[in-house]
């Protein structure tokens, strides 16, 4: 058959959802919104302080213990600089990074803002050399993970 005669039908998936975060994440976000604090829970078995807060340690599969506060500075473990527009996702350029906050034993993901991303290779080199960041809180907290971001120290 001539390729121009092949039938191609339009389609669309567009569903709305509400995601149930559970009690532990709900408290994590309430502390973030109301007290500008980042809290996690420690695994009684492997003794890792998990940030963001988890109700159980995935590695040991046991319930985590008491809530503990971590520092508002940390170290970049991994980063990426988004340079292309993925349809439906935030507009580039954007830097993201997994950061281990001081006192934590797992890493939390967020945007790293305030870096000149116009020369992406230079920005990448800078993030290899300057790994210390601090948390900067939003003026308008919503009780979401986007209530803060990182800035280089």
Partner 1 sequence: MSDPVGIIGVGQTPYRKRNSDKSAGELARTAILEALSDAGLEPDAIGAVIGGVAPDALSGIGDIDKAAIAMPGKPYIHVNTGGATGSSALLAAKTWIDAGRADVVLVVALERMGQAATAQSIFNTIFDPIYEKDFVLTTITMAALRATMLMNRDGFTGEHWAGIASRNFTQATRNPLVIGAKARSVADVLASPVLAWPIHLYEACPISEGACAVVVARGDIARSRNTAWIHGTGAFSDTYSMGDRMHRAEGSLIEMVPLRRAAQVAYRQAGVTDPLSQLDLLELQAPFAIIEAMAYPALGLCDIDANRSFVDKVITADAPIAINPSGGAQAANPVSATALVRIAEAALQVRGNAGDRQVSDARLALATGQGGATQFSTVCILGSDVP
Residue 50 lies near partner 1 (rule: CB under 8 A): yes
Does position 13 bind partner 1 by CB under 8 A? yes
Tell me the CA distances in angstroms from 60 to 63, 67, 90, 97, 129, one per residue in order: 9, 18, 35, 26, 34
Q: Single out the residue of 140, 54, 149, 41 nearest to residue 95, CA to CA.
A: 149
Is 152 among the residues that bind partner 1 (CB under 8 A)?
no
If one asks whether residue 23 binds partner 1 (CB under 8 A), the answer comes out as no
Phi, psi (degrees; rounded to nearest 5) at 23: -70, -40
The dihedral region occupied by 143, where left means phi > 0, alpha psi between -120 and 50, and beta the remainder, is left
Residue 124: enclosing H or E segment and its boundaries?
Answer: helix 120-129
Interface segment toward partner 1; rule CB under 8 A; list 30-38, 42-50, 62-70, 132-140: 42-50
Q: Which two tokens stand for residue 98?
A: 């997994």
Which position among 32, 70, 81, 135 is part of the footprint of partner 1 (CB under 8 A)? 81
Tell me the C-alpha distance between 77 and 100, whole Å: 7
For position 121 contacting partner 1 by CB under 8 A, the verdict is yes
Q: Which of 36, 72, 82, 137 binds partner 1 (CB under 8 A)?
A: 82
Residues near partner 1 (CB under 8 A) are 1, 3, 6, 8, 11-13, 19, 21-22, 25, 46, 48, 50, 52, 54, 58-59, 77-84, 86-90, 94, 96-98, 100, 105-111, 120-121, 123-124, 127-128, 144-146
């Amino acid at each position: 058959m001539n390729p121009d005669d092949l039938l191609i039908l339009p389609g669309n998936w567009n569903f709305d959802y509400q995601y149930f975060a559970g009690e532990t994440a709900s408290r994590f976000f309430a502390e973030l919104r109301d007290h500008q604090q980042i809290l996690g829970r420690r695994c009684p078995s492997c003794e890792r302080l998990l940030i963001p807060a988890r109700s159980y340690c995935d590695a040991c599969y046991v319930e985590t213990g008491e809530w503990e506060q971590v520092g508002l500075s940390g170290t970049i473990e991994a980063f990426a600089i988004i340079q292309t527009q993925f349809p439906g996702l935030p507009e580039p350029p954007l830097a993201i990074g997994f950061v281990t906050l001081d006192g934590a034993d797992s890493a939390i993901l967020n945007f790293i803002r305030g870096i000149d991303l116009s020369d992406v290779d230079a920005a990448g080199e800078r993030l290899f050399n300057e790994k210390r960041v601090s948390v900067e809180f939003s003026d308008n907290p919503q009780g979401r993970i986007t209530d803060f971001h990182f800035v280089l120290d």
